[in-house]
């Protein structure tokens, strides 16, 4: 997505050397990715109605365990994929950031629903306009809330993405900490991502 910028710090994706892929690494990739994608442990970060759909996805009718997710990890230290199910107020921004930082690599994030992905209908003073201004996101699931089928499709997309990863790609596993200015993305990009859209520009307001 072109969001990664070089900071020159150790661990920066831009300064990690890139070994070229060969027979050994591609076989290794295949095995590792196969194992990783089929044993994703989700860290459920449920804040709103999306969490209800997430629970339905995990329950017997839709049975998330079919995809290797039988263990919900309620500790970020034993989790692989953070699923933000619901809106994220600014007050929770440092919390989800800390949970993300506590998760060990390799880790992925799914932004479930309109609010987590864009702020949704909550274009107001209290709400983060998309969690991708706080943490990197791999898969966005649309819907308000998404049906369990939608979330499962997102998870399958994530598995497809994981299957395409390579150990020779140093940028994949590089941590992207909060920048020295206290933001995760450059300020102008946060403003751009948070711009009003759709109906939210026509809201009635008294001020």
Partner 1 sequence: MTPAVAAGPSASVAALRAAFGPAIRRHDVVAGDTIVLVDAARVHDILAWLRDTPGQRYDYLVDVTAVEYRDRERLLEVVWFLRALERAEDLRLKVELAKDGPLAVPTCTDLWRGADWLEREVWDMFGIRFSGHPDLRRLLMWETYAEGHPLRKDFPLRGHFSRAEQTRQALGGAAEKHYSLEELSIADAMHYLPDDMRERLAHGHHGEVE
Binding site for partner 1 (CB under 8 A): 90-91, 93-95, 97-98, 123-126, 128-129, 133-134, 178, 181-184, 187-188, 190-191, 193-194, 196, 203, 205-207
Task: Give the full edge-to-edge strand order of the sheet including 42-46.
Answer: 42-46, 81-85, 108-112, 139-141
Residue 45 DSSP label: E
Closest CB to partner 1 among 53 and 123? Answer: 123
Q: Cβ 171 to partner 1, closest distance in Å?
A: 23
Q: Which two tokens stand for residue 165?
A: 């990863």
CB of 40 or CB of 116, closer to partner 1: 116
- We find the least distance from the C-beta atom of residue 78 to partner 1, in angstroms, to be 21
C-alpha distances in Å from residue 153, one per residue of 139, 141, 160, 176:
10, 8, 10, 27
Q: What is the closest distance, in whole angstroms, from the C-beta atom of residue 60 to partner 1 in the complex? A: 35
CA angle (186 as vertex; 141, 47 as ends), nearest 5: 35
Smallest separation, CB 67 to partner 1 (Å): 31
**CB of 69 within 8 A of CB of 58?**
yes
Tell me the two tokens of residue 92.
Answer: 């929770």
Q: Count CB atoms within 10 A of the CB of residue 153.
A: 14
CB-nearer residue toward partner 1: 24 or 126: 126
Closest CB to partner 1 among 10 and 180? 180
Choice between 20 and 206, CB closer to partner 1: 206
To the nearest whole angstrom, how small is the minimum distance from the Cβ of residue 192 to partner 1? Answer: 9
């Amino acid at each position: 997505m072109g969001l990664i910028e070089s900071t020159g710090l150790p661990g920066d994706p831009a300064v990690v050397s890139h070994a070229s892929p060969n027979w050994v690494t591609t076989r290794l990739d295949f095995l590792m990715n196969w194992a990783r994608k089929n044993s994703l442990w989700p860290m459920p970060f449920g804040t709103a109605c999306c969490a209800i759909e997430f629970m339905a996805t995990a329950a017997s009718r839709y049975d998330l365990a079919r995809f290797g997710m039988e263990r919900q990890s309620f500790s970020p230290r034993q989790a692989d994929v953070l699923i933000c199910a619901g809106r994220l107020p600014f007050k929770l921004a440092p919390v989800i950031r800390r949970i993300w930082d506590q998760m060990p690599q390799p880790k992925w994030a799914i932004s479930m629903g309109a609010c987590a992905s864009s702020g949704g209908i909550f274009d107001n003073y209290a709400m983060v306009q998309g969690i991708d201004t706080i943490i990197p996101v791999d898969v966005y699931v649309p819907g308000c809330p998404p049906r369990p089928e939608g979330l499962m499709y997102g998870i399958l997309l994530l598995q497809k993405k994981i299957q395409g990863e390579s150990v020779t790609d140093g940028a994949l596993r590089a941590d992207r900490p909060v920048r020295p200015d206290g933001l995760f993305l450059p300020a102008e990009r946060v403003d751009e991502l948070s711009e009003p859209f759709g109906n939210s520009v026509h809201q009635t307001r008294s001020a």
